[in-house]
Structure 1
Amino acid sequence: MADSATGLVLTSPEGVRYRFDPGALCLELLLTGGPGEIARYELLHEPAGLLEWVVHSRLRPTPELRVSGEELAGTRRVRDALWRLVWARTGAGEESVEDLGVLNAAAARPPLVPALYAGGVGWALGPATGEQLLSTVARDAVALLGGPHAGRIRECGAHDCRLVFVDTSRPGRRRWCSMGRCGNRNKVRALRARQHLEE
């Protein structure tokens, strides 16, 4: 899914590969599935699914993790609550006290511990837990939803795309998940419409 550049490399239903940078670790977790209609995209069926996501996430270097089935279920619970909280920020849903409680409880746990080594920054020795990973993601969500960019969380402007991102562009006018996919599709549609009018 990802390489050394910022963002993740995704593949559209049409088989087109494109780069998508949601702008926050917590929003990257939303790519693993979610509640309602997004449940069909579920990737976290087994702990291995979460470990695979970590490898492609912006967590660098990748921490060594051990994830239990219970921790995986907790991750799905927090992720689904985060989806609903993000939808509330974009105006597509209502914020609930229950979802805030789920997120805050995860953030209150000990996070992944960074450590400085001779070769650079890494993680504290020994495998970390899924609970620590989830706390790190939840703290990122708290910082995003409670910070200055909370009002810049957007859903892609394409009618058939549900990807969400933080609009960090200076004018605050980002509309598309990626110019490589939805932005390009919009340009093609606009060009065809103009050509049709000129005929």
Structure 2
Amino acid sequence: MSQRPPESPNTSPGLTLISYEGTPYRFDPGALCLELLPTGGPGAFARFEVLHEPADLVTWAGHSRLSAGLDLNVTEDELERARALRNTLFLLTADRAHGRPLQQRHLEVVNAAAALPPLVARLTPDGTRAWAPGATGTQLLSTVARDAIDLFTGLYADRIRECAAHDCFLLFVDTSRPGRRRWCAMEHCGNRAKVRAHRARKAP
């Protein structure tokens, strides 16, 4: 998985990731819950961990689809639960992407987080959405878990995929009209595949 955490706030959905070569590229996983996955993961993916302290989860939230002025306070316990939820979502999403049965123990983690109060949205005078001040990490995790439930039970549940590159494990939901997305990003894995295909055609 060739990524590091996003380096600057985004004005459009998705994250700015950094390849192993140090090249930034845009990755839009298509859902809030999937934006949490590149911050680390279970097993071998633990080496990508970036949520080391509560401030790191606050930073992630600011780069996510929730970034509209979210006033967030996160405790150490909430950070630990965030990593546990992320790891569970990683496994659930990978299972769904590969057509494997969803594990009950994973579903219980997501359902428990979703059962708690979520972030509170507010309508501003200019017609945009804002978040009620004093939000907690628990509310953030509930919102992420509810987004996952919406994704797994929604119209695009059958379009949850893993990047087609052999060395990339980024997960996304294909929300495009034709439904033919294969890569985490065309400018990253998509272009690499095109270059390999071109070289293969030119090879003697």
Under TM normalisation by the shorter chain, which class is it? over 0.9
Indicate conservation of the 8 Å contact 1:87/1:94, yes or no: no
Partner SS for 1:88 = helix
Bigger mean CA offset, 1-10 vs 147-156: 1-10
* Separation (CA, whole Å) in 1 of partners of 2:99 and 2:86: 17
Within 5 A, what are the aligned runs for 1:1-199? Answer: 1=6, 2-91=9-98, 94-119=101-126, 120-124=128-132, 126-197=133-204
**Displacement of 1:7:** 1.6
Decide whether aligned partners of structure 1 residues 18 and 109 sit closer, same or farther in structure 2, where only a CA change above 3 A counts. same
**Displacement of 1:172:** 1.7
Aligned residues: 196
Which segments of structure 1 move beyond 6 Å, counting only runs of 4 or more?
Answer: none
**Displacement of 1:146:** 1.4
**Displacement of 1:55:** 1.1
**Displacement of 1:8:** 1.2
Bigger mean CA offset, 158-167 vs 113-122: 113-122
Indicate conservation of the 8 Å contact 1:24/1:140, yes or no: yes
Structure 2: tracts of 5 or more residues without a match: 1-5
Partner SS for 2:91 = helix
* Separation (CA, whole Å) in 2 of partners of 1:5 and 1:147: 22
Indicate conservation of the 8 Å contact 1:111/1:132, yes or no: yes
Q: Could you tell me which amino acid in structure 2 is paired with residue 177 of structure 1?
A: C
* Separation (CA, whole Å) in 2 of partners of 1:77 and 1:101: 12
Indicate conservation of the 8 Å contact 2:61/2:67, yes or no: no
Q: Could you tell me which amino acid in structure 2 is paired with residue 184 of structure 1?
A: N
Q: Could you tell me which amino acid in structure 1 is paired with residue 130 of structure 2?
A: G
**Displacement of 1:6:** 2.6
Q: Could you tell me which amino acid in structure 1 is paired with residue 96 of structure 2?
A: R
Partner SS for 1:18 = strand
* Separation (CA, whole Å) in 1 of partners of 2:166 and 2:99: 14
Decide whether aligned partners of structure 1 residues 93 and 14 sit closer, same or farther in structure 2, where only a CA change above 3 A counts. farther
Indicate conservation of the 8 Å contact 2:161/2:174, yes or no: yes
Structure 1: tracts of 5 or more residues without a match: none
* Separation (CA, whole Å) in 2 of partners of 1:117 and 1:91: 42
| TM-score normalised to structure 1 length | 0.94
Partner SS for 2:118 = coil
* Separation (CA, whole Å) in 2 of partners of 1:80 and 1:170: 30
* Separation (CA, whole Å) in 2 of partners of 1:186 and 1:31: 21
**Displacement of 1:93:** 5.1
Q: Could you tell me which amino acid in structure 2 is paired with residue 90 of structure 1?
A: A
Indicate conservation of the 8 Å contact 1:34/1:41, yes or no: yes
Partner SS for 2:145 = helix
Instruction: For residues 124-167 of structure 1, give each alpha carbon's deviation from its aligned partner in whole angstroms, at most 9, with x where no partner exists.
Output: 2x311000000000000000011121110000000100101101
